[in-house]
Amino acid sequence: MPTCTEFASVRARFPVFKNKIYLNSCSQGALSDAVEASLLQHIRSWHEDGSPWERWVEQYESARASFARFIGAQPDEVAIVPCASTGISAIASALNFSGQRRKVVMGEFEFPTMGQIWLAQQSRGAEIQFVAAKDGRIPASAYAEAIDERTLLVPLTHVCFMNGARSDVPAITKLARDRGALTMLDDYQDCGTRPVDVKALDLDFYVSGALKYMLCPSGVAFLYVRPELIRSLTPTITGWFGQRNPFAFDVKHFDPAVTARRFESGSPPIPHVYAVPAALELLGSVGFDRIAEHVATLAQALLAGARELKIKIKTPADTRGPLVVLQMKNSEAAVKKLASHNIVVSNRMDGLRVSFHLYNTLDDVGAVLEVLQENLNLTVRDLGD
């Protein structure tokens, strides 16, 4: 784990900590000086040169290469999209639901976007089956009962946005592979807090946006596609940057790129692609293994403190983070109470969401617990039998 000095140095690069204790990376990563400088670099180029598209396209490809290295892929296997929904929809539009395999199996822990996009495919013949959670988890065995010879795709969240539960990705992916189904991992609630290797995970598709734990602005996301699948899938949600040569400007021909770029659509989010290499360089300078260890320590510290206060915990006890969710009688009031102490968190339904990243400390954990101890009337207590 990085030393206290190292963490203080990293934390100092995020100006929000001058006035706040920021614990809401599950909604939006904090802004670093490195990312701010990258955005200003784009603005300067816009001021100085007007429309230097050659330079901007170079930066767009630099972002693709940086993300590909981070997930253990090749640049040609990665599409840059404005949001995760666009990437998922491009794949959905390319799949055929008219054959024997038309079933989409997903857990009820998925982010709403995932459910909504696949439910929308019902008009094209898709059959949707949700896997129910039990005791705050969806074990691989539950997927085993649902994935069969009719299953086309298994979308899978890495970390549930509602309670921080982590999916058993290797086991579920193997189940799908053994039964001939494709897998799509949604890593939006974890990407940036630990190493990722899409090849080792044996994924067909991997999607993540950059605004949470990747510490970038909204408006940029990434889609990995297994190289063997790229040319076999032709999206009907497309655009000029999804073509083999976007700058051919040929309105009368549809000529999708032979790389994962075929899953892109319109003009790329140029200001935001500047941020991606800067953010990944900052994260990489600490080391993703070390970030994961640090995040796990903070998550377990909050869980231990909540248990001492007898606050009911929605997150599984063995969590490695980054998200811990505590049950509240009024989660909105709890968010406001913490905000009055300059602590930034968020809520979903009855859950108070506290999320950790490389810039957080055990002092941050202590500050949250102190406020909750003073306001136990807002919490749901776990008083035992």
Query: In the prediction, which pLDDT does 314 show?
Result: 97
What CATH architecture applies to the domain 36-282?
A: 3-Layer(aba) Sandwich (3.40)
Query: In the prediction, which pLDDT does 236 show?
Result: 96
CB 335 within 8 A of CB 312: no
- Token pair in block for residue 282: 């900052």
Predicted structure pTM score: 0.95
171-177 contacts at long range (C-beta below 8 A, 24 or more positions apart): 171/140, 172/140, 172/143, 173/201, 173/202, 173/203, 174/202, 175/140, 175/143, 175/144, 175/147, 176/143, 176/147, 176/151, 177/202
Query: In the prediction, which pLDDT does 167 show?
Result: 97
| CA 88 – CA 184 distance, rounded (Å) | 9
Nearest Cα to Cα of residue 321 among 221, 213, 220: 213
SS (H, E, C) 52-77: CHHHHHHHHHHHHHHHHHHHCCCHHH
CB 213 within 8 A of CB 191: yes
Residues of the chain with CATH 3.90.1150.10: 4-30+287-378
DSSP label at 12? T
User: How many other C-beta atoms can be found within 10 angstroms of the C-beta atom of residue 197?
Assistant: 12
Q: Which amino acid is at 250?
A: D
Residue 335's Cα: distance from chain center in Å? Answer: 22
Q: Is CATH 3.40.630.30 correct for 4-30+287-378?
A: no
What is the DSSP code string of 161-223? TTT--B--HHHHHHHHHHTT-EEEEE-TTTTTSS---TTTTT-SEEEEESSSTT---SS-EEE
User: How many other C-beta atoms can be found within 10 angstroms of the C-beta atom of residue 331?
Assistant: 23
| 3-state percent helix, strand, coil for the chain, nearest multiple of 5 | 45, 15, 40
Nearest Cα to Cα of residue 343 among 312, 364, 360: 364
User: What is the β-pairing status of strands 78-81 and 221-225?
Assistant: antiparallel
Report H helices in 226-287. 227-230, 270-273, 275-286
Beta partners for 326? 313, 352
| CA 56 – CA 42 distance, rounded (Å) | 8
- Token pair in block for residue 96: 């055929």
Report mean pLDDT in 10-residue bins for the chain, 385 residues. Answer: 68 97 98 98 96 95 98 98 97 96 97 97 98 94 96 98 96 97 98 98 98 97 98 95 93 96 94 96 96 97 98 96 97 98 97 98 97 97 79
| Tokens 């140095």, located at residue | 9
| Tokens 């230097």, located at residue | 52
Positive or negative, the CA dihedral 359, 362, 365, 370 is negative
Residues of the chain with CATH 3.40.640.10: 36-282
> What is the three-class DSSP state of 344?
strand
Nearest Cα to Cα of residue 195 among 204, 183, 187: 187
Nearest Cα to Cα of residue 218 among 84, 22, 34: 84
Cis, bond preceding 277 (omega within 30 deg of 0): no
Query: In the prediction, which pLDDT does 1 show?
Result: 45
